[in-house]
Chains A and B, each alone.
Chain A
């Protein structure tokens, strides 16, 4: 056979030559000094090249745990959470206004209503607007469970929702915000059900009812940061009337604001929670 070409020699050295070819090359090398010399040169070249590459490698650090990697695929959703909340709150304000006056025509449900004319804080209902948002909320809960025993992020969101409600309460006339429940009555709310956009109700995350006075709102919320779970009876005595969740959705639990006000959050059963 003729001399072995360098490509074959590299495959030979790399151990990538099929065994049949390898046998032929071995036989040739045994009787060809030229090719043995070439082989030695190519081996030196190969070793030199891999040494050069080896000198330009990163400092090897251990791979992060696989589980962390899986979590990091979720972390991208976490970034968007504040935006999801902002969107939810805007929708919630719109829905709350809609619920406030069931007699209104469809135009009043427009979330871009004039906030200056909005006098009565009613029900703030953060409504995840899409699959992604619902997922992000779930993701947040899951990762919270992993990291901290307390459902802090949920509370953060709730505080956020609350502060928005506060800002609405601040423009409300004293009569409307003087500690009485802002919702007119549960009966009226129930009457409003047929006019609710069906999708919104199905995707409801929670209902925020604020009955705080302006004074309480300004006093801020120092001290505890826990939104304590309270019984329906306690919520009733706190509000002076029954707490109202969204019609058609059973309340999962009721929490009380850590601030010295009468803010109560009714968390309804959601599809995610039911699972």
Chain B
């Protein structure tokens, strides 16, 4: 039912953009992909729209990552472009550095741990994460505990390592 999708759109769009952003690391691209996912939902009319959206979004982000790997040079150039939404140049540098560090830290996680963490951060319940990742519900707490610990440790190690942040 389209009305349901409209409702899900209002509630879930920001979370889906956030989820995608942590995968593609490009705000506009994340928005495009999120809108594309909703557009597909309009065509497919899935039973569980929210869960379906995140599965589709994860798949699109994965395809995107493969494409990005093929166009690595191009991506590097894009990344160095200043973020148009910021005003202060100093904030730009701080925010960019911070993002780069978090990104590098997330890269240190296993794909499954990372997925669980990003889904939780996107507002999904343990049940939803279990359905999405194929993990048992009882394993979600342990997975998230491990993911959080690794994220923090990798981030701290990266910050101490200074220039070597992006080595992962």
Contacts and interface: CB of A to CB of B under 8 A. Distances in A.
Contacts of A57: 18, 21-22
B61 interface: no
B72 interface: no
Interface stretch (A44-52, A187-195, A207-215): A44-52
Best-surrounded residue of A7, A48, A58 (most CB of chain B within 10 A) = A58
B151 interface: yes
Contacts of A56: 21-22, 98-99, 102-103, 106
Nearest to A16: B126
Interface stretch (B7-15, B52-60, B63-71, B160-168): B7-15
Q: Is the interface of A mostly helix, strand, loop or mixed?
A: helix
Contact of A73 (B17, B43, B105): B43
A194 B53 CA distance: 52
Contacts of B118: 53
Contacts of B22: 53, 56-57
Interface residues on B, range: 35 or more
Interface residues of A, number: 33
A58 B38 CA distance: 19
A267 to B, nearest CB: 31
Given A52-B151, A53-B117, A64-B35, A5 B142 contact: yes
A53 B117 CA distance: 9
Contacts of B151: 49, 52-53
A64 B13 CA distance: 10
Contacts of A14: 120, 126, 141, 144
A66 B117 CA distance: 28
Contacts of B148: 10, 45-46, 48-49
B102 A55 contact: yes
A61 B152 contact: no
A59 B85 contact: yes
A6 B17 CA distance: 30
Interface of A: 5-12, 14, 16-17, 42, 45-46, 48-50, 52-53, 55-61, 63-64, 66, 69-70, 72-73
